[in-house]
Amino acid sequence: MLARIVGFAKTSLLDWDGVVATTIYLQGCNLRCPFCHNPDLVSVSGEVEEAPWEVLEEYLADNSDFLDGVVVTGGEPTLNEDLPDLIRKIRKLGLKVKLDTNGTNPDMLQDLLQAGLLDCVAMDLKGPLDQQYSQVCGTEVDLEAVKRSINLIMTSGIDYEFRTTVVPHYLKPADIERMASYIGGARKYALQRFKNDRTLDKRLSQIDPYNEAQMLGMAETARKYVKKVIVRGI
């Protein structure tokens, strides 16, 4: 049985820089980040209609002439034991694969990397690598697992990025510098401006995002540590 696909965006130019991709969504996540922008995918629920693999496969095969790859996101895709099988099916269609992950399952990540199943990984770095991390994630997080995933990605030899959704009250500019320092030497770090229109915790709709100047300032500081820093959402 393949991972439960609960939807896919047929064409995206935003989910993988420089790549024309289809984005598929898997349900279920082990974190409860209050600012999550895919709240419908956090819990595993039959209320969200499943997108059969056969429908996706047909679309990918019919459009492989202009599609470059597939982004597998969630939820947290690595919670699915059959994720490798799903990715193998996608790659058999001649498409590259990018994985979005929160880095809490380094065993699965290592298996995928060692099997050569991934062309790119985007890992969400939620906060400074201390007790603050679990606070930002809304649940207890194994920091050693997250650190191991960071190391696996940075030594993988494939394309990758780390990314952080910068939420006021949860993360301050000094936190961003600490995080950038931890991943010092990384290829790419994306700072994403928080959007308050759709979140797991509805109370966050009352929080105003950092303004453009603040986001650019944090990016400039991060560039002291990371080779390439970009800002999204401004």
Whole-number pLDDT of residue 206: 83
Instruction: Judge whether 119 and 98 are in contact, CB under 8 Å.
Output: yes
* Bridge partners of residue 191, in order along the sequence: 164, 231
pLDDT band per the 50, 70, 90 thresholds, residue 82: very high
Contact present, 26 and 74 (Cβ < 8 Å)? yes
| 35-61 residue pLDDT tens | 887 767 666 665 667 788 898 999 999
- Comparison of pLDDT for 20 and 147, the residue scoring more: 147
Say which CATH class 5-232 falls into. Answer: alpha beta
Per-residue pLDDT band for 8 (boundaries 50, 70, 90) equals confident
Whose structure tokens read 């959402």?
233
SS3 175: helix
Question: What is the C-alpha separation between 185 and 115, in angstroms, rounded?
Answer: 25
Kindly state the average pLDDT of the residues 188-200. 88
Tell me, what's the pLDDT at 33? 86
Confidence band (pLDDT; 50, 70, 90) for 207? Answer: confident
17 φ/ψ angles, rounded to the nearest 5 degrees: -55, 125
Of the listed ranges 47-61, 113-127, 180-194, the least confidently predicted one is 47-61
Average pLDDT over residues 135-147: 96
CA–CA separation, 230 vs 36, rounded Å?
A: 20
Mean pLDDT score of the chain: 91
pLDDT of residue 45: 60
List the single range of 41-45, 87-91, 111-115, 170-174 with lowest mean pLDDT. Answer: 41-45
Give the alpha-carbon dihedral of 172, 144, 43, 111, to 10 degrees: 130
Backbone angles phi, psi at 7, to 5 degrees: 150, 160
**For the chain, which residues make up each domain, given as ranges?**
5-232
- Name the H helices within 183-211: none
Beta bridge partners of 188: 228
Run of H or E residues at 7: strand 5-12
CB 162 within 8 A of CB 4: no
Q: Is pLDDT above 90 for 2?
A: no
Q: Say which residue, 99 or 8, is predicted with more confidence.
A: 99
Residue matched to tokens 């064409």: 11
Instruction: Report the percent of the chain where pLDDT is more than 90.
Output: 69
